Amino acid sequence: MSNKISILMTYLKYKRMHFKNRDELERYQKKQITKQLDFVTSCSGFYGSYKGKPLEELPLMDKKQMMDNFDELNTVGTNREEAMKLAIDSERSRDFSEKLNHITVGLSSGTSDTRGIFLVSDKEKDMWAGYILSKVLYGSILDKYEVAFFMRANSNLYESVSSSNIHFVFYDIYQSVEDNIRRLIEQKPDIIVGQPSILLDLCRYAKDLHPKKVISIAEVLEDSDREIICRAFNVDVIHQVYQCTEGCLATTCDQGTIHLNEDIVFFEKEYLDEKRFIPVITDFTRTSQPIIRYRLNDILVERKDRCPCGSCFTALERIEGREDDVFVFDGKENEEIKVFPDFIRRLVMFSGEVGDYRIVQAEDGSLEVYWDQSSDIRDKFLTELEKMASDRGFIMPAVDFYEYSFDRSRKLKRVESRRKR
Ligand SMILES: [Zn+2]
């Protein structure tokens, strides 16, 4: 059972927390890290031998490592087999209410051999709910809100937020669009939460919906899509909540800038160039399954100038995509030439007014472009690609064009690489 008081306490704590400057924030983080390391080195068998060591001496972690060491790592005495069985049963029956001794077990997305299991205690869940609310509610926590939440799988993680004044309705994206729309119009949501592909679908019905806030989750929000959604819903900012099973990592401020949630997560940055980095995260609040120096698979782009909102939390230009979606071309000297997703996006934009598109690098390195475009725009695209190939020194790949299509049951990725590496 969720504890409303503890949700409210967390909400108030983070709503009131302000840092005058970066130094103050860093002092706070240092204290939190010390506290968290004291806890994990005492309670997690995996970290036992690191007692008293500074954070940088603890091992880097990733999904595979975490799953391989699942039993020793978690602090609630759960074993992997038992947790996996419960998670799979819940997915199959679509009943997500069952728990292991007050611990919710979930599966993170990924292909079958890379799926991770995550554990969240009731206490952590309340914290998470209070924290998210402190970041996304535009008024007081005591005001009334109708929230429409579009998602793949329901989870009792989200239900913990529902209360008498905050009313959540969940929409299963596998249900028919017409059905969902009818219910949505009846609900009159103040806040709509969904992935960009869903929000784009809803644009057609925007005149019947007047949400005060639109929140994008789970997929990369492309600039061009953001503009379409803003225009349709007549809002200035599309709020983004960048969150994964490993934590709630970033949220958008009133100015529309995404800031890292440095009040609950410490970020180490593995730089790829002067502003792109892979985040390595340490969460101050996760205790059941500690997240310590966990390397994510995402590429974030840092914004160098300060955000006008005045926050000292690191500002992002954007969330660029998965590290796996970097395109890899064959160089003229037989080397690998990597091209970040954002440059591929720009390539498409430079070809003209494109609208919906997907561009996939196939396993063999060739490109598949899905769009409904004229031969002029195709030619322009090929010219731009040739120019990029000669500038960067890679061999021009084969390119095939197809009609635009998108499988609704998957995440919409406009730029995707399937190249084996
Ligand atoms: Zn800001």
**10-residue stretch averages of pLDDT, the chain, 421 residues long:** 80 94 97 97 97 97 93 94 84 70 76 73 88 90 90 61 79 82 94 92 91 90 92 94 86 94 97 96 95 94 94 94 92 93 91 90 96 92 96 96 85 89 70
Distance CA 206, CA 202 (A): 6
Question: What domain range includes position 340?
Answer: 326-417
Instruction: Please give the distance, rounded to the nearest whole angstrom, from the Cα atom of residue 96 to the centre of ligand 1.
Output: 36
Q: How far is CA 73 from CA 105, 155, 167, 282, in A?
A: 15, 24, 36, 14
Q: How far apart are CA 235 and CA 95, in angstroms?
A: 35
Structure tokens at 40: 């994990």
Per the CB < 8 A criterion, the answer to whether 358 and 404 are in contact is yes
What token pair was written down for 263? 């009040």
Answer yes or no: do 39 and 93 share one domain. yes
Measured in Å, residue 258 CA sits from the centre of ligand 1 at: 7
C-alpha 295 to ligand 1 mean position (Å): 25
272 in Cβ contact with 341 (< 8 Å)? no
Domain boundary among 288, 303, 322: 322
- What phi, psi does 51 have (nearest 5°)? -55, 130
Give residue for tokens 């690609």: 385
CA of 203 to the centre of ligand 1 (A): 26
Q: Which residue, 322, 338, 354, sits at the end of a domain?
A: 322
Number of domains in the chain: 2
Distance 256 CA to ligand 1 centre (A): 7
Cα of 315 from ligand 1 centre, angstroms: 7
Mapped onto helix, strand or coil, the DSSP state of residue 113 is helix
Give 214 Cα–ligand 1 centroid separation in angstroms.
17
Measured in Å, residue 260 CA sits from the centre of ligand 1 at 10
Alpha-carbon distance of 143 to 123, in angstroms, equals 24
At residue 285, the pLDDT reads 93
- Residue whose structure tokens are 């806040």: 191
The residues near 134 (Cβ < 8 Å, ≥ 6 apart) are 10, 11, 12, 13, 14, 15
Q: Which of 292, 322, 352 represents a domain boundary (last residue)?
A: 322
- pTM, entire model: 0.88
185 & 197 share domain: yes
The whole-angstrom separation of Cα 178 and Cα 199 is 14
